Amino acid sequence: MLATAIALQEVTKNAVHDDEVMSMAASIYQNKDHMTSDEFARALYMYSAHLSALTTTLATHALLTETQLDEMINSIQEFETLTKDITNGDN
C-alpha cells in the first residue's frame, strides 16, 4: 500500500513537472494580460485537461501490469462496440 502511494505521488510530480505541461503554464501566465476572459478560461481548461489526462495515464501505467492494461483497453473497446450496436451507431 505504501509503495502504491509513493508511485502515485511520483507520477503526479512527473506530470506536473512535464515539459509540455510547464510550457503550457508558462504560456498562460505570460499571456494572461493579452487574453480575453473566454480565451483565458479556455487556456486554463486545456491546461487542466492535459495535466489530468497525463496524470491518469502515468498512474495507470504505474499501477497496472502490461497484461492488465491490455485487458482494460480490450474491455473498453468491447463496451464501445456494444454501445454502438445497442444505439445503432447513434451516440
Ordered per-residue pLDDT tens for the chain, 91 residues:
788 899 999 999 999 999 999 999 999 999 999 999 999 999 999 999 999 999 999 999 888 888 998 998 999 999 999 998 898 766 5
> What are the structural domain ranges in the chain?
2-65
CA distances from 82 to 10, 16, 78 (A): 36, 36, 6
CA distances from 78 to 49, 89, 90 (A): 25, 14, 16
CA distance 3 to 10: 10
Contact (CB, 8 A) for 24 and 46: yes
Predicted TM-score (pTM) of the model is 0.72
Q: How many CA atoms lie within 13 A of 28 on its CB side?
A: 18
